[in-house]
Amino acid sequence: MSVVTLRVNGQEVAVPAGASLLEAARAAGVELPTLCHLEGLTPVGACRLCLVASETGGRLLPACATEAAEGMAIRTDTEELQRYRRMTVELFFAEGNHVCAFCVANGDCELQDVAVAVGMDHSRFPYRYPHRHVDASHPLFALDHHRCILCTRCVRVCDEIEGAHVWDVAQRGSECTIIAGLDEPWGAVEACTSCGKCVDVCPTGALFRKEDTTAEKHPHAERPEQLRRAREQQQWRNQ
């Protein structure tokens, strides 16, 4: 296995060829905030929280979706990056309707955790209070578009792990939204196997079990990686 060496915040680190800058940062003991990234799913670089700067300048790079190259030198915590990260999280809050007080995910929410991590104590941007809706047509689960940050974890886990491809992204800009099937009520999409993986990986309270009330959602973001590893290694056959 070939290896590439690079510098993260001045520290030299070696990672397998093909590894991402996020993996390189983690190998160097540096934790970067992420929301769209999830082990076991294809990276898309949607949330822009893991942006890092190359010491040689140029545009900022999404660490999850950038392959580490021999001789690279990156910084992960410049003042500019910290400012951008906080601004990104503030924009998430301003863009949707995130009311932690009665949210199913309160206390176990990655958006909440990231807000704390980047030091967001308030949003400097005016809230948009968009008019969105809740799709509760599925017998077991519901999608609250108010709380969706368009990370597309649900789209990817349904496509790549479950193989059902119930979810997709429609529209553009501020109208951009997650849709079920051909923009149908979730409960009407026959492809859905009701496996619940999309609920498990959702980083906020957007996807939840219908019986869950305030602060009762406990996601399982580790499942895609567990399932992928189990399939690749055929773990169930070794027992």
Partner 1 sequence: MTRTVLIDPVTRIEGHAKITLHLDEGGHLVDARFHVVEYRGFEKFCEGRPFTEMAGITARICGICPVSHLLAAAKTGDKLLAVTIPPAAARLRRLLNLAQLTQSHALSFFHLSSPDFLLGWESDPAKRNVFGLMAADPDLARAGIRLRQFGQQVLELLGGRKIHSAWAVPGGVRTPLSAEAKAWILDRLPEARATVRLALDLYKRLLDGPLQREQRVFGDFPSLFLGLVGEGGRWEHIDGTIRLRASDGTIVADGLSEDDYHAFLGEAVEPWSYLKFPYYRPLGYPEGMYRVGPLARLNVCDSIGTPWADAELADLRSRSGRVATSSFAYHHARLVEIVACLEAIEELVNDPELMTGRVRSRAALNRNEAVGVSEAPRGTLFHHYVVDDDGLIQKVNLIIATGQNNLAMNRTVAQIAREFITEPVGADATIPEPLLNRVEAGIRCFDPCLSCSTHAAGQMPLRLELRAADGTLLAERCRG
Residue ranges that bind partner 1, judged by CB under 8 A: 101-102, 104, 133-134, 136-137, 139, 142, 144, 187, 210-216
Task: Please state the closest distance from residue 38 (CB atom) to partner 1, in A.
Answer: 26
144 exposed, middle or buried (CB, 10 Å; 0-12, 13-18, 19+)?
buried
Beta-carbon contacts of residue 25 (< 8 Å; ≥ 6 apart): 8, 31, 32, 52, 63, 74, 76
- The total number of residues shown for the chain amounts to 239
State the Cα angle at 173 between 116 and 129, rounded to 5°: 55
Q: Which CB, 100 or 150, lies closer to partner 1?
A: 100
Q: Which CB, 26 or 132, lies closer to partner 1?
A: 132
Q: Shortest CA distance to 52 belongs to which of 72, 77, 34?
A: 77
Task: Please state the closest distance from residue 40 (CB atom) to partner 1, in A.
Answer: 29
39, amino acid identity? E
Q: Which CB, 190 or 211, lies closer to partner 1?
A: 211
Phi, psi of 32 (to 5 degrees): -110, 140
Q: Which CB, 124 or 128, lies closer to partner 1?
A: 128
Task: Please state the closest distance from residue 219 (CB atom) to partner 1, in A.
Answer: 17
Structure tokens belonging to residue 79: 């003042």
Q: Which CB, 90 or 216, lies closer to partner 1?
A: 216
